[in-house]
Amino acid sequence: MGIAAGSGRHEPEGLLPLTPAVFHILLALSDGERHGYGIMREIVAATQGQMRIGPGTLYRSIQKMLDDGLVKESVERPNTENDDERRRYYEMTDFGRAVAAAEAQRLAEIVREAQAKKLLPKLRST
C-alpha cells in the first residue's frame, strides 16, 4: 500500500493517516534533531500541555518510524559537555518530511470542511 507500483519508492500518502503521536514527533523533529526526552518536552510545549506522550508510546512510535524510513538515528552528537553518551538523537528524513507535509495537507482539508459546515470559524488573514 505504501509503495508505488514498480518504483520501489514509498509514496507519502500510503502511510496516512498518521497517529497523533507520530505526527507530533515529526513536528518536533521538523526544527532539527532531538533526543527522546527532548521530543517529549517539545510536544508538551507545542501543545500547551494538551498532549503528552510517555516513553513507551514514544519509543514504540520511533521504532516504527525508523522501520518506515520517516526518521533516522543521528550520527553526529551535539557538542555539549552535559550530553549523556547513552542518549540517542533522531532526525527526520526527507521522506519523513514529505509524509509530515502530506498529513498536514490532509488535516488542513478536514479543517476547511469543518469551516464550510460552520463547525469552525474561518480564520482571518493577518
The reply to whether 92 falls in a domain is yes
pTM of the model: 0.84
pLDDT tens digits in sequence order for the chain, 126 residues long: 444 444 435 799 999 999 999 999 999 999 999 999 999 999 999 999 999 999 999 999 999 999 999 999 998 766 666 666 778 999 999 999 999 999 999 999 999 999 999 998 887 766
Domain count within the chain: 1
CATH code assigned at 39: 1.10.10.10
Phi and psi, residue 109, nearest 5°: -65, -35
Q: Are 70 and 95 in contact (CB under 8 A)?
A: yes
Q: Which three cell numbers stand for residue 15?
A: 502511510
Q: Degrees (nearest 5) of the Cα angle 103, 36, 33?
A: 65
Sheet holding 89-92, edge to edge: 34-35, 89-92, 71-73
The reply to whether 123 falls in a domain is no
The reply to whether 3 falls in a domain is no
